Amino acid sequence: MSLIFDRFKTRQRALDFKAQVKRSYGLGGQLFSTAQAAQQRDPFPGELVPMIIHIDRCNDLAIEQKIQEMAPRFGGSFVGT
């Protein structure tokens, strides 16, 4: 399972978010330009709006919360796991 974020307005903003998560917390992620591709990687019951990023989970809920709070600065929204 991943932390799932969507609604990034541009590919670059999504990539910037992914890079910041990597720099700050050492967690990897994957960019998807379609909801169908994202659903194949990690199914999610709701509708996803591109650009979509899946961030690897960690064992620290406080870090995951910080990542969720970071997404709006890049134009994204946390949608679930």
Task: Kindly report the average pLDDT of the chain as a whole number.
Answer: 95
Residue pLDDT, tens place only, 10-30: 999 999 999 999 999 999 999
| Residue 15 Cα to chain centre, angstroms | 10
pLDDT of amino acid 46: 86
pLDDT for residue 41 is more than 90 = no
Q: Where are the domains of the chain?
A: 2-80
- Does the pTM of the predicted model rise above 0.85? yes
pLDDT of amino acid 1: 83
Sequence-ordered strand ranges (E) for the chain: 2-6, 29-32, 52-56, 77-80
